[in-house]
Chains A and B, each alone.
Chain A
């Protein structure tokens, strides 16, 4: 039987044979990269909102505490999106005629809620709880980024499961003293001294010996200490399925 392919095709065959795994591999890599890209995860995407609310202005410039609006962040799964009334607390007095705030005034007058587009959107089978993260010393910044520098709110982290798991496996890398949880600018290098609020039980002997003394200035040292102090559980327990899925 004569040969089907001429000899001249041999290099092409080699290229195909060698290139096929490469092609598959690169397709896989591309897929994986795409899956993690901001296009797929929505990181940094700015959604249109009924009111162009600026965290940079309210947090960065005015220095309003997170909890002024996100009232239930310390005691509920939900941080709480503030009701219109919260906006009106101030905006009855200042900028009460601004065009930008017309939807807020309209909402208040008609008793119709403002419908915000959800920025941090986890699937329905994920049960995230803000309060426990706050209680165990995970700063707002860790997940939400420098909110004080962001004009229109956007997603800081990918919210992929691998991102959650990264911290649940090594929580010590991300913990901070409880009194610094709401700080946008805190770094371990800033050090400072232990505050009574840093502890669950400030009157415990262990806390009493620490309060007033300087904190460690490296995350490694501080994180290990905090993990012990806050009784953050081990990586196995923190990555149990039912921690987040139920």
Chain B
């Protein structure tokens, strides 16, 4: 340190919970001590002398022992019972309510857990067609938004609190005279995409009452191209619904259908159902039924990573690719295509042949940002390949008003505002000041509107431009309705009264159109009562309503299937495709952030800190580019000592220039990205999203602004919302540090310190052919000493059950013979002479620990909880990570702490690459969720000096937080690196609203305590108590861990290994089952099923 020793200075932080954001980034490398103590940590404010130090240390040592001697173990507390207890509430027993989370207008059915009236966890609704029990990370994290302390807390007029009634009076004064609408008021209503029938009825009523009124739907992640594509193909707007259970071959064109867009949770479920190859006939599929996915995309996504063949192609060339495929399929009238890179060009014919061969069982999914002609061509191909009716279904549009172009509507609105042709502007839960394209001057134009009212959850960028603001109720606070990806309506019901007196859009419009004030319940219910009567549904409305709300779906509301006739006249006007790109210029892609979406979740700490699928980036966005592009630009990532495994990465800042607009942004090298183009994620750089998470006074972004990441909307133009050519990159000398928890990690990795080649084979993978030849390919004998005999078949099976009986192909002799033939090169060259199996595959222990753990326990009460994860089904979507955070009260630590390797997530979704990083078509990506594997021989337990981590009789590796003294020996000794240590007081003990959202069944950990995955022991014990109370055994599937429940593709199972018929037992008997680092003889209870891919042998080599 070159500075004068000034002692530890207190860094004044504006806020409590912005943990770890305390450092000025510029000052950081020179002054590392500045970040020693983020908010909430104990700090020294005085100077330190040697004498003083010794005094304090001596006293600390003396008092350290005394800290355990609180006179009372628990502080005095109050009990506050109800005055009149609601009949359905039993304190201590959670309730679940069905509702729906909506994004971009499309709802996903969820069940929300309510602990004594506080929503604490979101699960998927198995009855909802868009969910089938799964959720995504955003829906999981939307719970935190409810408790966001930065939410707008009061209606305001020019920033000053005001009564809601006064606002309504003011609006009504503008719109009505003596209760009659002023016909000439030029009213504009700006909303997101609306699928809610109730909200639409009020908007339409307003449009009806005011002939001059217009309704503008602004959606930054717009589906204009999708709608326009269907209009080209069919002459009208139709909605496409896929059925991936029927699809043998799927072609995804820049489409992340497994991780994004309407119905993606359902699609992930359906797609994965054709990936789970099983020997056991009771579930999964046979090898012949495995589907095949081709992904052609510019930016690597979850879908591309799950694909059997992934081709990297800039988005602008994808149209060419599909036209070539179409021509190959015999559609000769297809317009001419542009040039394609050779490796992609040579893949066209095999892909087309594959599609032709599986005629009728193929699906082509097109990314919503691709031009309408690509969509139209895909529709044409669906018809041509007879896919309509099997894998693809067309329905009436889901949106209330599908016609029109959203962007043109917005531009028209802005022009009208500039020309002072707007009298009253109502902005309902939209944030155009932030999300409008850079060349649409919304923020300037809005100033000339005389009356502007904003309804939003935050005092955001748009709210400050409007003199009137009404806080919006969160969707868990209010009644509403929304349609799913197939049109099914869900009545959204509130779980809690509005925390800050917020109003929903429906309530606001209802109050404006017709005082007196009405509750959301009455509004939504009355709407459906009228619909019920109008549609002449039989029965009693009250029963229909009750049942619909309870189930979370309204029967008979799915959009009707239609069979539109396909047209080809659009081909004449199809755009001529661009030629090869200009050297030195890049194609830029604007994409929604996989977790922050369009930026509305920028103040959500869970989503900000969750490593993004594929990129594994936290807290920031970056300019993503391929290794080749980076090499051309001379961009390198400096991982320091971490080797890219966790924590800090220092990257150059680039000046990104596009259409005369410039931003400064950190660059990031992403293997698998298409060459010659770059991708930036929208949703960052928000200035008014909230002060707790989104703004960072002490950690400025690459532009020096106190916000998270850079704002990519500043480059986005309205001529092509999704990007285009002509971006110029100048590398600056400035560096910026990013918190990317897994910069680059190949299954084979050179140790950054010793230089040794390491390959533990953490992820095991094979092709369908490998599997057919030798199903046990994932069991690599020298590495799996403990695994073959013990993990797979397991220790004390109930009497009468023979480990080998379940699967014939599991016969070791048989498989070893195959093994020698099929895979001689993987290190196994030992002899096998006992005719049964390899003698080295004996367990490395004489004991069977689970038997000795509780010798007196009745055999029927013995449980061995275990988990299995199918890597073939995992898409790395991160829903499990957020579900775990929500269920287990995991704290948010902040970007700076993440760069020190202190991310507290109990689940890490490791991403591994196989193949050369500069050849995207050969690069394979695998995901592996890694949490505590609950070793039977747990290395952590033997080193704990205080017995804070110990084995339970049912095989869990228990962690007693209150006993932990924080030696971290266990973490050092854990080969899986799944233990997380509270280096500082990460849990927020002070923000009241955040406390409401915590799971009361899990201890909130404090500083100095180790924590880790417990297999959701609170759920296990709860189910155990219920079962024991009823005098029965726990049923298989009764306990569902948080990650398992959230997983949209059903990649995780949990259950009892002592039950040979439990799903987890069956999975573990599969030949692809293997244990991570099982060669250490830890005997993990969590094992993996090796990832299977189904490549097309006819594809060109390396693709």
A residues with CB within 8 A of B: 31, 35, 39-42, 71-72, 75-78, 80-85, 107-108, 111-118, 121-125, 127, 129, 131-132, 135-136, 159-160, 200-201, 231, 233-237, 240-243, 245-246
22 A-B pairs within 8 Å (CB atoms) are namely A39-B71, A41-B72, A83-B85, A113-B82, A118-B77, A121-B74, A122-B73, A124-B74, A124-B1003, A124-B1004, A127-B1001, A131-B1029, A132-B1028, A135-B1028, A200-B1031, A235-B856, A237-B854, A242-B1020, A243-B952, A245-B958, A245-B961, A246-B1001
What residues of chain B lie closer than 8 Å to A112, measured between beta carbons? 83
What residues of chain A lie closer than 8 Å to B563, measured between beta carbons? none
| Cα separation A40 to B857 with both chains bound (whole Å) | 36
Q: Are A84 and B81 in contact (CB under 8 A)?
A: yes
Can you add 15 more A-B contacts, CB < 8 Å, to A76-B93, A117-B76, A118-B77? Answer: A41-B72, A72-B93, A113-B80, A114-B80, A118-B76, A125-B962, A127-B1001, A127-B1018, A129-B92, A132-B1025, A132-B1028, A236-B853, A241-B959, A245-B958, A246-B1017
Q: Which of B72, B80, B85, B1017 contacts A242 (CB 8 A)?
A: B1017
Q: Are B74 and A122 in contact (CB under 8 A)?
A: yes
Q: Which residue of chain A has its CB nearest to the CB of B951?
A: A240
Q: Does B848 contact A (CB under 8 A)?
A: no
Q: Which residue of chain B has its CB nearest to the CB of A111?
A: B83
Q: Are B861 and A231 in contact (CB under 8 A)?
A: yes
| Cα separation A117 to B75 with both chains bound (whole Å) | 11
Q: Does B90 contact A (CB under 8 A)?
A: yes
| Cα separation A162 to B574 with both chains bound (whole Å) | 80
Q: Which of A42, A117, A201 contacts B78 (CB 8 A)?
A: A117
Q: Does B26 contact A (CB under 8 A)?
A: no
Q: Is the interface of A mostly helix, strand, loop or mixed?
A: loop
How many A-B Cβ pairs are below 8 Å? Answer: 163
Q: Are B81 and A82 in contact (CB under 8 A)?
A: yes
Question: In whole Å, how far is A74's beta carbon from the nearest beta carbon of chain B?
Answer: 8
Q: Does B91 contact A (CB under 8 A)?
A: yes
Question: In whole Å, how far is A42's beta carbon from the nearest beta carbon of chain B?
Answer: 6
Q: Does B273 contact A (CB under 8 A)?
A: no
Q: Are A246 and B1014 in contact (CB under 8 A)?
A: yes
| Cα separation A76 to B95 with both chains bound (whole Å) | 12
Q: Which residue of chain A has its CB nearest to the CB of B952?
A: A240
| Cα separation A6 to B541 with both chains bound (whole Å) | 104
Q: Are A236 and B854 in contact (CB under 8 A)?
A: yes
Q: Are A233 and B857 in contact (CB under 8 A)?
A: yes
| Cα separation A40 to B73 with both chains bound (whole Å) | 9
Interface size class of B (residues with CB under 8 A): 35 or more
What residues of chain A lie closer than 8 Å to B856, measured between beta carbons? 234-236
What residues of chain B lie closer than 8 Å to A76, measured between beta carbons? 90-93
What residues of chain B lie closer than 8 Å to A135, measured between beta carbons? 1028-1029
Within 8 A of A (CB), among B924-956: 950, 952-954, 956
What residues of chain A lie closer than 8 Å to B1017, measured between beta carbons? 242, 246
Q: Which of B69, B75, B83, B956 contacts A35 (CB 8 A)?
A: B69
Q: Which of B83, B92, B855, B953 contacts A72 (CB 8 A)?
A: B92
| Cα separation A118 to B76 with both chains bound (whole Å) | 7
Question: In whole Å, how far is B1013's beta carbon from the nearest beta carbon of chain A?
Answer: 12
What residues of chain B lie closer than 8 Å to A85, measured between beta carbons? 82-85
Q: Which residue of chain A has its CB nearest to the CB of B861?
A: A233
The 7 lowest CB-CB distance pairs between A and B, nearest first, are: A200-B1031, A234-B856, A76-B92, A240-B952, A78-B92, A241-B958, A83-B82
Q: Does B79 contact A (CB under 8 A)?
A: yes
Q: Are B958 and A242 in contact (CB under 8 A)?
A: yes
Q: Which residue of chain A has its CB nearest to the CB of B853?
A: A236
What residues of chain A lie closer than 8 Å to B854, measured between beta carbons? 233-234, 236-237
Question: In whole Å, how far is A114's beta carbon from the nearest beta carbon of chain B?
Answer: 7
Q: Which residue of chain B has its CB nearest to the CB of A109?
A: B83
What residues of chain B lie closer than 8 Å to A245, measured between beta carbons? 958, 960-963, 1003
What residues of chain B lie closer than 8 Å to A35, measured between beta carbons? 69
Known contacts A76-B90, A242-B958; A42/B72 CB under 8 A: yes
Known contacts A81-B81, A132-B1028; A72/B90 CB under 8 A: yes
What residues of chain A lie closer than 8 Å to B1028, measured between beta carbons? 132, 135-136, 231
| Cα separation A40 to B1021 with both chains bound (whole Å) | 31
Chain B 30-70 near chain A by CB (<8 Å), digits 1 or 0: 00000000000000000000000000000000000000010
Q: Which residue of chain A has its CB nearest to the CB of B1016?
A: A246
Q: Are B73 and A123 in contact (CB under 8 A)?
A: yes
Question: In whole Å, how far is B953's beta carbon from the nearest beta carbon of chain A?
Answer: 4
What residues of chain B lie closer than 8 Å to A41, measured between beta carbons? 72
Q: Are B81 and A80 in contact (CB under 8 A)?
A: yes
Q: Are B1003 and A242 in contact (CB under 8 A)?
A: no
Within 8 A of A (CB), among B837-868: 853-858, 861
Known contacts A123-B74, A125-B961; A242/B83 CB under 8 A: no
Q: Are A40 and B78 in contact (CB under 8 A)?
A: no
Q: Which of B83, B93, B861, B1004 contacts A83 (CB 8 A)?
A: B83
Question: In whole Å, how far is B68's beta carbon from the nearest beta carbon of chain A?
Answer: 10
What residues of chain A lie closer than 8 Å to B80, measured between beta carbons? 113-116
| Cα separation A219 to B1066 with both chains bound (whole Å) | 45
Q: Which of B78, B92, B962, B1021 contacts A118 (CB 8 A)?
A: B78
Q: Does B27 contact A (CB under 8 A)?
A: no
Q: Which of A122, A234, A243, A246 contacts B857 (CB 8 A)?
A: A234
Q: Are B857 and A236 in contact (CB under 8 A)?
A: yes
Question: In whole Å, how far is B538's beta carbon from the nearest beta carbon of chain A?
Answer: 38
Question: In whole Å, how far is B1022's beta carbon from the nearest beta carbon of chain A?
Answer: 9
Known contacts A72-B93, A127-B1018; A84/B84 CB under 8 A: yes
Q: Which of B73, B78, B858, B1003 contacts A116 (CB 8 A)?
A: B78
| Cα separation A113 to B523 with both chains bound (whole Å) | 31
Q: Does B514 contact A (CB under 8 A)?
A: no
Chain B 854-891 near chain A by CB (<8 Å), digits 1 or 0: 11111001000000000000000000000000000000
| Cα separation A117 to B78 with both chains bound (whole Å) | 5
Question: In whole Å, how far is A31's beta carbon from the nearest beta carbon of chain B?
Answer: 8
What residues of chain A lie closer than 8 Å to B960, measured between beta carbons? 241-242, 245
| Cα separation A75 to B92 with both chains bound (whole Å) | 9
Q: Are B858 and A240 in contact (CB under 8 A)?
A: no
What residues of chain A lie closer than 8 Å to B92, measured between beta carbons? 72, 76-78, 129
